[in-house]
Amino acid sequence: MKRRILLGWEFGGGNGHAVILREIARHFSPESHELRFAVRYPSTLIRAGIDPNLVFEAPGKMLYRAGEPAIKGTARATYGEFVCEALMGPERDFSQRLAGWDNVISVFKPDVILAEYAPGLSLYARGRIPVVATGSGYSLPPAGMTVFPLLVEKPVPRFATEAELIDRLNGYLRKAGAAVIDRLPELNAADAHGLITLPIFDPYRDHRQGGYLGVEHPGGSPEPEPGAAGLIVYFDETWQLEDGFVGGLRAAEISGHAFLGMPLRRTVKRLAGSGVTLADRPFDLSQEMPGRAVAIHKGTLGFASAAALAGVPQIVLFHNQENLLIGQALQKAGTAVTMARPKIKAGAIAEAIRYVASDPAMRAAARRLADQLAPFRSRHPAKEIADMVRKFIR
């Protein structure tokens, strides 16, 4: 009899979520296992190579009133507030999300659940079906904490207190027949946890007792090379519309490779003759990261960790809290410069690229960091997580 595994993904928009689900799934043979993927962005998973017949949209669509604009997200002081607002805030219906997961589970009847940044799924299934929760340092805080620590230095608007959030969550959970929580960090309670990150990128390092699996890089983790030349750039297609960003790449006058989603004609035209080659597919970072003088990205864990493992200095153009925290960690280590997306100007980005690519102190710091992280190059998080899942279906 085939064992059924439900792989869920609720929050986060990067390609990395699809990659880790794909890499974990590869460890389960179709002869012995039946897999289904309930995910935030089915098209992202399908582009990553998952059979479309196994993929469907996860519960939890935003609710919009006709004629009214969507409410933009607000930075919060803690992960708990951020996630609870995503579950129960304006234009969200947590009861509908829970009912959706109930339907998915009732129909598919999984033997075990893998929840990739999927706190709603974890909360619903906890105590009913074994759950293996996976995520980064940011998206998988330790469930054993008493309260969530602050992630910001400057005061930001509160969504609600932790006591209020626990009370509201438990009201929904009781109605759905799910187990209630006593502490807000139990948002991430599960039967096993797969922590996909490097210690430097974990904002909860002081609250955690190890458990770092490293980061999955298809093709293997990159290693440092003695030389340093050229740039490597990784962003989504929306960045092709940022005139300051594209203009800065050209003005830096440093050749290299950039993946910005499928190249637009306007981008091809603007970068013609600049020495920056546009790729039409994501990089094989094991081959294309080593030996670069600078890596430029928006603060995604996969790309930042590849550059860190390869000893490449970085420029992080952040636009959300997780990206900012990754950039700040690298900047504290002396291996990166950070800039906020709304403030990017062509002259500033060009100057930053030239500085980072040529600064010997930053290159030396990046190499020291790579040496410190060397033990993680031999780790295989997807296999280790697959082994966690397998323990519940033997």
pLDDT in tens, 45-73: 999 999 999 999 999 865 434 444 444 45
pLDDT at 344: 86
CB 286 within 8 A of CB 312: no
Domain range holding 185?
3-214+379-390
Q: Are residues 148 and 253 in the same domain?
A: no
Using alpha carbons, list the distances in angstroms from residue 90 to 40, 74, 241.
19, 11, 29
CATH number at residue 163: 3.40.50.2000
Counting as low any pLDDT under 50, the low residues of the chain are: 63-72
**Domain count across the chain:** 2
Which among 193, 236, 227 has a CA at the least distance from the CA of 389? 193
Q: Are residues 297 and 365 in the same domain?
A: yes
Q: Are residues 370 and 386 in the same domain?
A: no
> Does 221 reside within a domain?
no
pLDDT at 62: 57
pLDDT at 156: 83
pLDDT at 103: 97
Q: Are residues 205 and 242 in the same domain?
A: no
pLDDT at 74: 57
Please name the residue ranges forming H helices in the chain: 15-25, 42-47, 79-88, 94-108, 119-125, 162-175, 243-251, 265-271, 285-288, 301-310, 321-332, 346-358, 360-372, 381-390
Q: Are residues 235 and 256 in the same domain?
A: yes
The pairs formed by 155-164 with CB atoms below 8 angstroms and a separation of 24 or more are 155/77, 156/74, 156/75, 156/76, 156/77, 157/74, 157/76, 158/76, 158/77, 158/81, 159/74, 159/76, 159/81, 159/82, 159/84, 159/85, 159/89, 160/81, 160/84, 162/78, 162/80
Q: Are residues 192 and 247 in the same domain?
A: no
The CA angle 376-379-385, to the nearest 5 degrees, is: 130
pLDDT at 24: 98
